[in-house]
Amino acid sequence: MMTREDLIKIPIFEKLTEADVEVLLQLWKERRLKDGQALFHKGDRGDSMFLIEEGSLEITVPVDERQKFLLFKRADKEMRVSVLGQAEFVGELSLLDGLPRTATARALEECRLLEMKRDDFLGFLIERPSVAISMVSEIGKRLRATNELVTSLASKNVNEEIEERLSFGDRVADKVAEFGGSWSFIFSFLFFMGVWMGLNTWQLLAQPFDEYPFILLNLMLSTIAALQGPVIMMSQNRAQKKDRLRADLDYQVNLKSELMLQQLHAKIDELRTTDLMQVQEALQAEHAGLKKRMEDMERDVVPKADSPEGTSSVR
């Protein structure tokens, strides 16, 4: 059973009022799939969206021969894109554009789904123009954000991003951790310990300030170790933050590359369509010219019926 909480998780429905949500909840119908059964295939007409109540769906796309070679020569005809589980949805954009499916969805186990038809949803919008305007506004915001992502420079220097956010304590901790993990610290510390123990050994005939077994030295070493641990952990935490920031930037770069490739494909398809139309127009013009020349040649070759040479008199 579809609930309000499940419905508002879908981005295009998150701004609906309580009354609209109650009406929209009545448009969903239950559908069941067996293990391995396909919900839809790539290229099918997109006329509905689905919400998974139980089970899981596998989303795949076909793999051509060139892609098979790039995928380590696998024999699979399809490549898995994602796996959707309970409370996840698929096909929400089909309610708006009605375009063919871009992937294949297949049940990995017995599934119980909720389905809403596009015609029912469009009827819902026709009766509520304000809801349609709100959804168009929300989609426009998402397109604007996507456009800003495409036009902005996603590649950034992670080190510069981190340096801008560091406080004075963070910089001191990094310097201490950097020095504590260097050969300079090891040699300096060994030299200090040698001098300390040498002085107290040389003063055995007199009064040593830290006699054997060097209790004060042990206390200093324990204190240094106790302080050095948290400092190193702070530096490691910043390294983890840097890794997370690098991962976020990589995601933005990959997303931007994907969007740019989609735009490039669209432009190539548009150019191809334009070229085909120009070629078709040129062929039609040439065909019309040839047809006209053939008609002119036939008029010149065939004798006219009323000419003296083409007639004979019978008496």
pLDDT for residue 311: 47
Whether the CB-CB separation of 117 and 94 falls below 8 Å is answered with: no
pLDDT in tens, 235-278: 777 777 777 777 777 777 777 677 677 767 777 777 777 777 87
* Other beta carbons less than 10 A from residue 46's beta carbon: 19
- CA 171-176-178 angle, to 5 degrees, is 90
The 3 state secondary structure assigned to 261-315 is HHHHHHHHHHHHHHHHHHHHHHHHHHHHHHHHHHHHHHHHHCCCCCCCCCCCCCC
Which of 10, 48, 14 lies closest to 31 in space, CA to CA? 48
**pTM, whole model, 2 decimals?**
0.45
For residue 193, the one-letter residue type is: M
We find that the CATH architecture of domain 4-151 is Sandwich (2.60)
Whether the CB-CB separation of 94 and 43 falls below 8 Å is answered with: no
pLDDT in tens, 89-140: 888 777 777 788 888 999 999 999 989 888 888 888 888 887 777 777 777 7
- The position carrying tokens 């969903």 is 28
Report the C-alpha gap between 310 and 172 in whole angstroms: 114
